[in-house]
Structure 1
């Protein structure tokens, strides 16, 4: 799945299914499996599905990319680490904080002073998350080479997308047009997706 499709599925479709189904776990499981299968066989289906709803909505305060971003700080069980160590809790907390700040971008971007402070907060949270990940990598290094390599590779991807987000911000401040703004939303979505990928790697490492 692409980053955007993952966001559409994770933060739009799956939470809605869980809310609609309530305590009917069989219906929930069946619907989730249907969407997962559709996405697997037709990549981009979830994104198209969510975009169609967004277009038909009578009032939409944000463009589609911003709408997905604004909903992306939800606590999903797919990205929750077990609290088996102080470091795991620290990584979870820092990842959740980063996602929360990233998801605030659509709301704060019109206010330059607040947006500039938000950017500083994002940079600070990226550094703190990387510090915690480096600690985990050092611990893993003493136990498993394969586990260390997987986490180190995911960390490098996280850094790469952090730089892409930074470049999108530079382009936006050079020319604050709607397309540059959408570029910020897209790269923020991708960085948030990479944050989830870090958590997912840790869950299965």
Structure 2
């Protein structure tokens, strides 16, 4: 019979080994931050954003008909074929507060509903646009790339950059590089996971 205490200790030991192995990798990432290799932060943020939101959504679209619920209590959801569903991400074109506010305002003005994610076994709130066309209603799921907004604070607090002046050429280049890195990382992950034309992904740049 396996001793549960020894078994638990073994699991903890493996966890400690895994954590120890991760330390050099994390250190390398933070070293790139210290060297101010622009784009590094956004790649990390984009990976988390993709697997927490986009990957489950694309997986649900790929299953077949996507069901849109007005609320969790809705018993008659609208159904959309995969070819009638697309995803757009609102992205600030500048990492400045005024751009963030415009993105938030556009996002908040959209319709709100729920989709059920089979992979997570739960409802997920979305914002969306709906176009009624002769060939079939077109559903566009619209999300706000809030993770990229945190890059501004990271540059201020960790890298001690003055981000208040948009005329600062160094900060301007950092902004463009971080935004581009975020978008490219998301696109690469999407193409790798769901590269076909069925799942359409686009960006709305707002500044």
TM-score normalised per structure 1: 0.29
The structure whose residues are more often helix, as a share, is: 1
Which structure has the bigger radius of gyration?
2
The structure whose residues are more often strand, as a share, is: 2
Bigger relative CO (Cα 8 Å, ≥ 6 apart): 2
